[in-house]
Amino acid sequence: MSTKPLPAVSYIKIPESGEPYLEGYQCGACKATFLGTRQVCSKCGARDQMATKRLPNSGKLYSYSIVHRSFPGIAVPYISAIVDLDDGTAIKGNLIDIEPDPEKIAFDMPVDVVFADALGRKDREGNSYISYFFKPKSA
């Protein structure tokens, strides 16, 4: 078992000191960004042009759904959100700290990316995980 929490997905980076952050891969030829490694750009086909890129910690809500029924053991309702980060990278996650009510949720509302424990979820070895969440920017 790891003494420190692990990243919930490969594109969360947890430095020895300092705050966790999101890391993408950017194609040097066409500037498309990807979450997770790849060799060849699926937008333009360029090979060996990928470089890591630290992704911004804020963005805007692009689209969402309010999930009322999920798999057994998953707490509902929650908001599944598609967010465009400030550099244009699209990312999906839970939108928190807002009522799951379409009246309260606005397209393009500014959000911050925050890092926290992965809702208490642990793997079989008992490791805990760090995940990211979207939080409305305080006015």
Partner 1 sequence: MSDAYVVGVDMIKFGRFPDRTVPQIGAQAALMALDDCGLTIKDMEALYCGNLGQAAGMVGQRILQEIGQTGIPVINVSNACATGATAFREGWAAVKAGLYDLVLCVGVEQMGKGLLGGAGGGSGISREGLLGSGTMPSVFAEAGLEHSRKYGTTFAQFAKVSVKNHHHSTLNPKAMYQIETPLEVVMNAEMISYPNTKLMCSVNVDGSAAAIIASEKKARELGLMKRAVKVRASVLTSDPWQERDLVMPDVNSCTRLAAKKAYEMAGLGADDIDLVELHDCFATAEILHYENLGLCGPGEAGRMIDTGEVALGGRIPVNVSGGLLSKGHPLGATGIANIYEVATHLRGEGGKRQVEGARIGMTHVIGLGSACGIHILEKA
Residues near partner 1 (CB under 8 A): 6-10, 32, 34-35, 42-43, 62-71, 74-76, 78, 80-82, 84, 88, 90-94, 100, 102, 107-108, 118-119, 121-125, 127, 129, 131-132
Q: Does 44 bind Zn ion (CB under 5 A)?
A: yes
Would you count residue 27 as binding Zn ion (CB under 5 A)? yes
6 binds, among partner 1, Zn ion, none (CB under 5 to 8 A by kind): partner 1
User: H/E/C letters for each residue in 32-86?
Assistant: CEECCCCCECCCCCCECCEEEEECCCEEEEEEEEEECCCCCCCCCCEEEEEEEEC
- CA 12 from centroid of its chain's CA atoms: 8
- Shortest spacing between CB 17 and partner 1, in angstroms: 23
115 binding partner (options Zn ion, partner 1, none; Cβ < 5 to 8 Å by kind)? none
Query: 41 in the Ramachandran plot: left (φ > 0), alpha (ψ -120 to 50) or beta?
Result: beta
Q: Which does 94 bind (CB under 5 to 8 A by kind): partner 1, Zn ion, none?
A: partner 1
The strand pairing partners of 59, in sequence order, are: 85, 111
Residue 92 C-beta: closest distance to Zn ion, Å: 21
Kindly state the smallest distance separating residue 73's Cβ from partner 1, in Å.
8
